Chain A
Amino acid sequence: MTRPARRVEAILLPLAAGVLLVAAWHAAVRATGTNVFPAPAAVARGLAELARKGLLLRYSRDSLWRVAAGYGIALAVGVPLGILLGWRPGAARAANPVIQLLRPISPLAWIPVAIVLFGIGNLAAIFLIFLASLFPILVSAMNGVRGVPAMYRDAGRNFGLSRGALLSRVIFPAALPEILTGLRIALGIAWIVVVAAEMIAVNSGLGYLVIDSRNAGKRYDLVVAAMLLIGLIGLVLNLLIARVARLRAVRWGFRQEET
């Protein structure tokens, strides 16, 4: 296939699939005669209503800045800490069981602790996001550093690099692709968790919208509208950070193994 044809395909096919799904959705609603689950048109109207009331932008923004805060702190803490743990294998061996033990504990399970520590509100939500994002970042930084071939370290030392220079000029760049992968995973998790956190502890944001729309009047059209928005923003976030992986400075780490 020619190149332009492939590109057109890559855009048309998903659109066609989307249209197909929406049509199937519409047909299903009609066929089952439900008057609770919304049809596509109702969801579209719901979105318009949210836009009109200014809630669309406001709730999206609220969710996004909570993510930014929690994720940002996790990044600032996780990357250096992970690098440190990866640098000293003894430290990694000590920390690993702790990490493995804490990781499976859902952020939701931390809610009572979060509320005790921070009270109900934004801080608790941000804490949850921080916790959830921390582990992938920490682990990938750790593994990224541990995985740097001894060859590179030896070369660095051969050229007389000090410890600090070795870290910044050899270890960190070599570990960067893996760290970026962890950052991407963590961002996805952060976005999922913000929605969860907002269902419990605050009263704005897309997660709150999902729960509130149902509780305050069974507005399932708004529930689904909010879900679609969540999905869309999540997709965009993922694409954005995937772009970072294509930068020439790090692309070397993401090459496919095959020719």
Chain B
Amino acid sequence: MSEKRSFRPRTRLASRFLPFAGLAALLLLWDLAIRLSLAPLLPGPLAVFRAIGELAQKGFLVKHVVASLFRVTWGYLLAVAIGVPLGILLAWYRRGGLAFAPIVEMVRPISALAWIPLAILWFGVGDLSSVFIIFIASVLPLAVSAMSAVGNVSSIHWNAGRNFGLAPRQIARRVLLPAILPRLLVGLRLALGIAWLVVVAAEMIAVNSGLGFLIIDARNAGNRYDLVVAGMVLIGTIGVVLDAVMRRIERLPGLRWGYASAAAEEAA
């Protein structure tokens, strides 16, 4: 989209430099705030950097990252396996959707954390509960995403499928599934973001590895705020990477057709 703006980066090089400028500004502000003792206990960027180095040295970096990724992968994949078909079914069978959509909308606002007591009751303390928390946080957003994707399939495509004499099952396979793919991928990306976000909550359940655990433990076991913030930085970075990977998948050649329409869908 062309814009006639009065501000224009002088050169293309300057424009590419901007994202880094933003990050640099953040780091500088942070450092300044710490130096001015605006928040006495909190670490500055250098301290955090050193803390990450410390983790890497002791071999904890890889251990925690892998542990968190492991839990998120399981919880997320389970949520996809259950949530996406559920959403498609609710949209395909109008009455089913009418019946169960309000219930989905009622369960969705319940924070994953609120499920912790029940998770512990059902699965005890440990990894299974963690995975369940991640699952429960992602499954309904995925279902809603799938529902919305089905609802957005153009009626023209439905009609064309029927026109060519396809049976409902064939229409589902040859029209529905390809047509919802772009929007569904956006939904999958957003839900992955949620799953990753919730990993911190999930790891509050007495597990002893993972980035979420690191954050909580570092504070409890000795006010190591540098490790706390290090954990936050790591979570943020991995979150960005996961998001970027999903975006790449959205742009695969076979799927690029939907990119333009699906891009309008997302919040960012």
Contact = CB atoms under 8 A, between A and B. Distances in A.
A57 interface: no
A82 to B, nearest CB: 11
A237 B108 CA distance: 12
A14 B15 contact: no
Contact of A258 (B110, B155, B204): B155
Interface residues of B, number: 73
A202 interface: no
Nearest to B151: A256
A106 B201 contact: yes
B110 A109 contact: no
Contacts of A257: 152, 154
A207 B113 contact: yes
A116 B42 contact: yes
B238 interface: yes
Contacts of A149: 1
A42 B119 CA distance: 19
A36 B122 CA distance: 10
Contact of B118 (A88, A102, A117, A223): A223
A193 B18 CA distance: 32
26 contacts: A89-B7, A90-B7, A96-B22, A98-B23, A100-B243, A104-B236, A104-B240, A104-B242, A104-B243, A110-B232, A116-B40, A116-B41, A117-B39, A143-B267, A181-B267, A195-B111, A207-B111, A213-B117, A223-B117, A231-B106, A231-B108, A234-B108, A234-B109, A235-B106, A237-B109, A257-B152
Task: Name A's interface SS.
Answer: helix
Given A108-B204, A109-B235, 7 more contacts: A93-B15, A101-B237, A103-B239, A104-B236, A117-B39, A195-B113, A233-B109
B98 interface: yes
Sort A-B residue pairs by CB-CB distance and give the 6 closest, nearest first: A234-B109, A104-B239, A94-B22, A17-B99, A13-B99, A139-B268
Interface of A: 9-10, 13-14, 16-18, 21, 36-37, 88-90, 93-106, 108-110, 112-113, 116-117, 136, 139-140, 142-143, 146-147, 149-150, 153-154, 181-182, 185, 188, 191-193, 195-196, 199, 207, 210-211, 213-214, 220, 223-224, 226-227, 230-235, 237-238, 256-259
Interface in B213-265: 215, 219, 225, 228-229, 231-232, 235-240, 242-243, 264
A231 B110 contact: yes
B198 to A, nearest CB: 7
B32 interface: no
Contact of B197 (A90, A93, A95, A106): A106
A150 B236 contact: no
Interface string B2-45: 11110101000001001111110110000000000001111000
B105 A238 contact: yes
B167 interface: no
Task: Name B's interface SS.
Answer: helix
A195 B114 contact: yes
Given A9-B95, A139-B267, A36 B111 contact: no
Contacts of A195: 110-111, 113-114
Contacts of A97: 19-20, 22-23, 240
B19 A93 contact: yes
A199 B113 contact: yes
A185 B267 contact: yes
Contacts of B9: 90
Nearest to A87: B5
A188 B109 contact: yes
A37 B231 CA distance: 35
Contact of A211 (B117, B196, B200, B239): B117
A238 B109 contact: yes
Contact of A93 (B22, B103, B198, B239): B22
Given A94-B25, A112-B225, A116-B225, A14 B101 contact: yes
B231 A109 contact: yes
A106 B201 CA distance: 8
A182 to B, nearest CB: 6
Contacts of B118: 37, 220, 223-224, 227
B107 interface: yes
A113 B239 contact: no
A210 B112 CA distance: 12
A149 B215 CA distance: 44
Contact of A104 (B20, B112, B196): B196
A19 to B, nearest CB: 10
Contacts of B212: 106, 108-109
